[in-house]
Structure 1
Amino acid sequence: MKNLLSLCVAALLTVLMVGSAFADKLTVACDTSFPPFEFKDPETGTHTGFDVQLWDAIAKKIGTEYTLQPMDFNGIIPGLQSNQVDVGIAGITIKPERSKVVDFSDPYYNAGILILVKAGNTSIKDIKDLKGKVVATKLGTTSADFVKTNCGAKEVKLFPNSDAMFMELVAGGADAVMFDSPVIGDYVRKAPKGQVEVVGPLYQGQSYGIAFPKGSALVAKVNAALKELRANGEYRTLYVKWFGSEPK
């Protein structure tokens, strides 16, 4: 009888320990395609990029395991609100309205919004020339809000990922793309020479933060890890690797 009781207790402890281990493994949401922050490596079939590698460095610092969960950008904040995911890192702009429903880390990247057109398009030189035009951007983003409010476009085409909006521009379905500067810059560097060009200045400076469900204990730990990664040079190494310049 004692042996049976001991076996039952041991089994219960094992279940509790396994459950605790799974509870400690975080679900981290990233975008499906937001290069150079996150994208699927065609050679390995896994997601990589600045966000992905930065989070991996943070996870090592705070001593946690995680599962990366790529999803459409507009599903990340609802996923955090419903506690389906524990962390969101996807070039998420820190905005007052978002801060009402999720918590943010300290900023980890400073960006802005740029206009991209097909090379040789002389009819668009800055934002005022987008009036009456068709502008493509990404669904659920700060860029989409900015375009709708400030451009006077005839039509704003919204796409679930950045690849689709760039394809729309190249195919002639949009007169311009207006989106986050690092993603525009990455696309220009990789596009065939003479295909596209950036016009106008940088609009609406903005900062990206890592997002968490309201009240998450992870915020303080992640902020401490970010501070350490900046101090020891790991952040700079990743930044230069993915953006080809010194951190701003």
Structure 2
Amino acid sequence: MKMEKIFKISLTIFLLILAVACGKNEGRTSDGKKKYIIAVDLIYPPFSYKENNQNMGIDVELIKAIAKEEGFEVEIKPMDFGGIIPAIQSGQLDGAIAGANITEDRKKVVDFSEPYYDAGLVAVVNKNNKAIKTAKDLEGKRLVVKNGTAGARYAEENLKGKAQVRVYEDTTSMLKAVENNQADAAFEDYPVIAYTLKITPDAKLKIGTEKLTNDKNGFMVKKGTNKELLGKFNKGLKALKENGEYQKIINKYTK
């Protein structure tokens, strides 16, 4: 009877250990390197996008370069931005590099790295629009934002009740609404829209305002649970800035 009880206790402990182990995404490759599941935004050029069925962009190349520098592997998982933080919180992801602005609200639910990119929000308008040049001009207009982004937050904090705001799940659809005169302006990070206009000179869009914010982007992990990965990111980022690799990646997509 005593042996049966000991066996049951041992089995329970084993199952608990197994459950904890299975709950972690990080694994190891055949050569013993740690492997992390890292999300990027599904469509967010120049930070992340698909080209010839390959994941491309600043965020993608940066996390791969940091992984190489710090001796770990990454599995890139493109996702809609709105689902990334919930996936980090639920343990489906080890981290995310998705052009996410570092904010006080987000700091309550995730831990951020040191800033890896200085961004800034601008209003994007139709090429023929001459009415929007300042933040004040956005009042009373039809605005579109991408769910969960700095643009959505800016509209909520500064234009609630002062303008019509419609939410989209992806950047392409949001900008199409402006191009097709279904909206007067969209909010987007300056590097994103600058890159978009660079590769699509025929787009019926232009930057309508100066930068409205001074946001910084950070790498995200689950709050209080992944200091090791966060430390590797910060250390690798510092090394890439010192050896010039960081600037090479940035210049590739923004110059």
Q: Secondary structure at the match of 1:157?
A: strand
**Aligned-pair CA distance for 1:148:** 2.2
* TM-score under structure 2 length normalisation: 0.83
Q: Distance in 1 between matches of 2:157 and 2:198?
A: 29
As a proportion of its length, which structure holds more strand?
1
Conserved in 1, the CA contact under 8 Å of 2:179 and 2:203? Answer: no
Q: Secondary structure at the match of 1:35?
A: coil
Q: Distance in 2 between matches of 1:173 and 1:79?
A: 32
Q: Distance in 1 between matches of 2:229 and 2:46?
A: 25
**Aligned-pair CA distance for 1:20:** 5.4
Query: Are residue 212 (structure 1) and residue 218 (structure 2) matched?
Result: no
**Aligned-pair CA distance for 1:192:** 3.4
State the 4+ residue runs in structure 1 displaced beyond 4 angstroms.
Answer: none
Q: Distance in 2 between matches of 1:91 and 1:242?
A: 14
- 1:78-93 mapped onto 2 (5 Å cutoff): 78-93=86-101
**Match of 1:7?**
none
**Match of 2:250?**
239
Q: Render the CA deviation track for 1:33-70: whole Å, top value 9, x for unaligned.
A: 000000011xx212110100000001111211221110
Q: Distance in 2 between matches of 1:180 and 1:108?
A: 14
Q: Distance in 1 between matches of 2:63 and 2:74?
A: 10
Conserved in 2, the CA contact under 8 Å of 1:89 and 1:209? Answer: yes
Q: Render the CA deviation track for 1:159-193: whole Å, top value 9, x for unaligned.
A: 11111111111112111111211111112222334
Give structure 1 stretches of 5+ with no counterpart: 1-15
Q: Render the CA deviation track for 1:196-239: whole Å, top value 9, x for unaligned.
A: 22122111101000001123121111111110000001001111
Query: Are residue 21 (structure 1) and residue 31 (structure 2) matched?
Result: no
Q: Distance in 2 between matches of 1:128 and 1:201?
A: 12
Query: Are residue 32 (structure 1) and residue 42 (structure 2) matched?
Result: yes
Q: Distance in 2 between matches of 1:194 and 1:27?
A: 35
Conserved in 2, the CA contact under 8 Å of 1:134 and 1:153? Answer: no
- 1:1-248 mapped onto 2 (5 Å cutoff): 21=28, 24-41=34-51, 44-151=52-159, 153-193=162-202, 195-215=204-224, 216=226, 217-244=228-255
Q: Distance in 1 between matches of 2:173 and 2:142?
A: 15
**Aligned-pair CA distance for 1:153:** 4.6
Please tell me the root mean square deviation across aligned C-alpha atoms, in Å: 1.8
Q: Distance in 1 between matches of 2:244 and 2:68?
A: 15
Conserved in 1, the CA contact under 8 Å of 2:195 and 2:253? Answer: no
Q: Secondary structure at the match of 2:248?
A: helix
Q: What letter is aligned with 2:49?
A: F
Q: Render the CA deviation track for 1:83-118: whole Å, top value 9, x for unaligned.
A: 110010010111111111111111010011101111
Q: Distance in 2 between matches of 1:148 and 1:155?
A: 11
Q: Render the CA deviation track for 1:120-175: whole Å, top value 9, x for unaligned.
A: 21222212111111111110112101012213553211111111111111112111
Conserved in 1, the CA contact under 8 Å of 2:197 and 2:203? Answer: no
Conserved in 2, the CA contact under 8 Å of 1:135 and 1:153? Answer: no
Q: What letter is aligned with 1:145?
A: R
